Homo-oligomer: A and B are copies of this chain.
Amino acid sequence: MTARDELLGRSVAWFAEHGVGDTSLRTLAAGIGTSHRMLNYHFGSRAGLLGAVVEAVERAEQDALRELVATHEDPFEAGALFWQHVADRAAVFAPLFFELSTHAMRGEPHAALLRRWFAEGWSDALADGYRRLGVDEDRAATLALQSLAMARGLLFEVAVTGDRAAADTAMVRWTAMVRRELEAP
């Protein structure tokens, strides 16, 4: 366990408990028993620290999705459970997720790793799921992209409006639409 990993773990725990908000490096540092100078030393910048936090959370979430897909006969059931899991954490991590993704959109160097993480990890995991249902390569790629877009868009809605029920309904009906598409010729 390096000093960096130790600080990263404590930062994730601190954010999970106190929320992310506009917490300053000084406030966070005081909260986890270090100095803002040390956070800059280990992570290069505030954005570098937040990027590492998001990457750690995303890695855990992607692992959770693969685990659910692997342990459930019905991929759609795994998807439903995963949506619940993600939406439950929306209030805490969605703002940080969308904030950091704007850094990736602007091509900022510290967000390069995050950019690849956003771009490849989720699409690949979802496309795998659709291929296992016997969908051909081309359709699987599009369905994966659509499912990812739908999930992120609904996550956005939940985070902004707080209307979880409407988003849940939309997700259930989206899943039903895909089912019917796959059963049709």
Contacts and interface: CB of A to CB of B under 8 A. Distances in A.
Interface of A: 21-22, 94-96, 98-99, 101-102, 104-106, 115, 118-119, 141-142, 145-146, 148-154, 156-157, 159-161, 166-167, 169-170, 173-174, 177, 180-181, 184
Contacts of A167: 145, 149
A178 to B, nearest CB: 8
A119 B53 CA distance: 28
Main secondary structure of the interface of A (DSSP, over half): helix
B95 A106 contact: yes
Contacts of A142: 166, 169-170, 173
A170 B146 contact: yes
Contact of A119 (B106, B119, B160): B160
